[in-house]
Structure 1
Amino acid sequence: MGRPSVFVHALIGSAQVLTAPTSVMLQPGLPDWPGVSWDAAGGLPRLPIRDLQQRFSEEEPHYRAAIEHVRPLLEAAVAQLIRTPENRLSFHAQELHAHAPVLIWALSTLLGPWLGDDAFTYVSGDGDEHLRLKLIFVPAWKVLMGERSLSRVFSKRSPDQARSIAEDLVDRFILDEGNPARAHNVLARCPNPRSRTLSERLDVLTRAL
């Protein structure tokens, strides 16, 4: 017996409107938008941009307020992307629980300008019924996922310089109630992170804090 079919809704829009953080905020679905089907001419009706913008403005305060719930994983993820900004990240389902959308939103809001907003492609799969959900962020997505190294992220890990920097950045993010400006100012002192060695990234970011 195969697994039951599921309906998938896709929303296609410009990168100026559907950024990584705003796309995540559509995760619960649009309550007044049950989906659309192809029209007689073979096209899709447009969803007014004002409807999306209203949804974003309604959802963002909830995401900002929930950052503290994902703090340990957010710190661990930021630290890992400081160490290996070119890698894919995988998180254990038992640590994520129901917080995956908030973690994606926080990570892409915090690091998007530094790594590039298009660095945050995310994939979920439920191939293992015991894990329920596996979430993968895919910086620099390739056609074959195996082309990039995978870093498994756990909130508990021995502290190092990258984790200390990450904790400082997340502190600023949380103290500013989800406004990433101060953290962005620090990261801006270390442009083009993928072209630098780990030692260079750590030195520049430490001096910028």
Structure 2
Amino acid sequence: MTRLLAALALVLTLAACGSPPPPPAVPAAAPTPVTTGPPTTTGTPATTGDPAPERLRIPAIGVDSSFVDLGLDPDGALAAPESTDVVGWFAAGPAPGADGPALVAGHVDSRAGPGVFFRLGELAAGDRIEVLRTDGSTAAFTVTSRTDTPKATFPTEQVYGPTPGPELRLVTCGGSFDRAVGHYRDNVVVEAVAADAAEWTVG
């Protein structure tokens, strides 16, 4: 399990990143293939009938984005969102609002300018995140932490380990851009837990 989580972590640290604003020296970063097989996450998978996410709203940083499902590419790596303007959800893992860490990835930027998660690093403990779901409900979350971490020391267990209830993991790139390899050197990881059950609304 640890090996598979590490493989997923490696893929995600590369897949959700764009190239810096113009003029870029290299094209946007591409997903990196892995050979350890499909990634595995803990928690309740979306296939159990949990409503899928439709929209992500983070008022503190002005995010109001639709979701796309993220799966695996032909090389077995997690595919990044094709657009830098929307967030992606790893649909084989827990759905936002189900028990376990739901993974949401987005680009920080591209050659065209800022991406959907350009301001992700500005989030602070207590900020609110809302996920509108296909059943008409809104799953509310509260940010508990933000981590800026070198990709070489990505906190795999912290991000993908089991959780006692519904949680979110928002991931994008950060730090300086390494033009030699075409990737940012760091990741920004935001963790959030389900807000009080009374804040869950339907309709």
Do the two structures share a fold, i.e. TM-score over 0.5? no
Larger Rg: 1
Tell me which protein shows more strand as a share of its residues: 2
Structure-1-length-normalised TM-score: 0.29
Tell me which protein shows more helix as a share of its residues: 1
